[in-house]
Amino acid sequence: MTSKHTIIQISDTHLFGDKSRRINGFNSYSNLNKILSHIKTTFEKADCLMVTGDLSQDGTFESYQHIANLLNKIGIKYYLMPGNHDDVESINKVFDFKWIIDNVDYSIELGDYLLCCIDSTLYQRDEGAFSEEQLIRFENRLKKNKDKHTIVFMHHHPLKSISPWMDGMMLINYEKFNSVIEKYPQIQAVLYGHIHQVFESNINGTFYGSVPSTAYQIHPKTEVFTMDTVSGGYRVIELENGKFNSKIVRVKTDD
């Protein structure tokens, strides 16, 4: 029996309570609205949309109301993860979640596939890490689901990027995390946001990839923060018959 699924990943939407407020010269609300409209037009029948952190820039209740309203308009089931800029208490109020700070881990089953979402945030810190308890739970989930093709979603980057200054804000215990990934061949991909640029690598058969921000882009291969002029966008993930494929789609925005 054919098992085919389409997943869309967006990240780093960085909304404000004030929809007209700009970040690094860009209107993050307007850009997100345009990108979500493109997703709705092009991938209306996607199985789900994964939002991998930094939903808000200012952590306000209103900023999460804005993203909820935009996501609800496109008619695709969505799943959220926190990033280093997010306020979990405000998210809980808007979405009626019961998230616990630094401990938002869950998984989703899609036929023969397992989507593992792991919270890499450290409250009020730019860098990320997984606790020992998180890694133990993660491994236990992998052990129990060896027959499931697995995709891991997180916020922070677990590989050194092509922007060295960003690596001071990466996953602190990345080596330990990657050693876990290496032990479980059912893991097909590790997908994340945070770095506002596209980085892709294949390590021991596992695909690692970041996704553009919907708000603004950072130029790779720079020693200091440098804006990029390339458009934002999203990642399209195609899962079929045990295989993983993905591509980046960029959407021209004027803001």
Which CATH number covers residue 94? 3.60.21.10
Beta-carbon neighbour count of residue 29 at 10 Å?
25
Determine whether 252 is exposed, middle or buried from the number of CB atoms within 10 Å of its CB (0-12, 13-18, 19+). exposed
Residue range of the domain that includes 225: 4-250
Nearest partner of 148 among 205, 106, 110, judged by Cα: 110
Nearest partner of 170 among 138, 122, 136, 211, judged by Cα: 122
Express each pLDDT in 80-106 by its tens digit: 999 999 999 999 999 999 888 877 899
Judged against a pLDDT cut of 90, whether residue 248 lies above it is answered with yes
- Structural domain includes residue 117: yes
- Structural domain includes residue 255: no
Residue written as token pair 């697995």: 150
Amino acid at 112: D
Judged against a pLDDT cut of 80, whether residue 255 lies above it is answered with no
What pLDDT does 163 receive? 80
Judged against a pLDDT cut of 60, whether residue 1 lies above it is answered with no
- Structural domain includes residue 136: yes
Residue-averaged pLDDT of the chain: 94
Express each pLDDT in 200-228 by its tens digit: 999 999 999 999 999 999 998 888 998 89
Per-residue HEC secondary structure of 207-238 comes to EEEECCCCCCEECCCCCCCCEECCCCEEEEEE
Rounded CA gap, 117 and 182, in Å? 17
- With bands split at pLDDT 50, 70 and 90, how would you rate the model's confidence at 128? very high
Express each pLDDT in 106-126 by its tens digit: 999 999 999 999 999 998 899
Beta bridge partners of 109: 114
Beta bridge partners of 191: 153, 209
Q: What is the mean pLDDT of residues 237-249?
A: 96
Express each pLDDT in 182-197 by its tens digit: 999 999 999 999 999 9
Quote the number of domains for the chain: 1
| Percent with pLDDT over 70 in the chain | 98
Express each pLDDT in 153-178 by its tens digit: 999 999 998 788 889 999 999 999 99
Judged against a pLDDT cut of 80, whether residue 3 lies above it is answered with no
Pull the structure tokens for residue 193: 């946001």
- Structural domain includes residue 138: yes
The DSSP line for 144-209 is: HTTTSEEEEE-SS-SS--SSGGGGGGSBTTHHHHHHHHHH-TTEEEEEE-SSSS--EEEETTEEEE
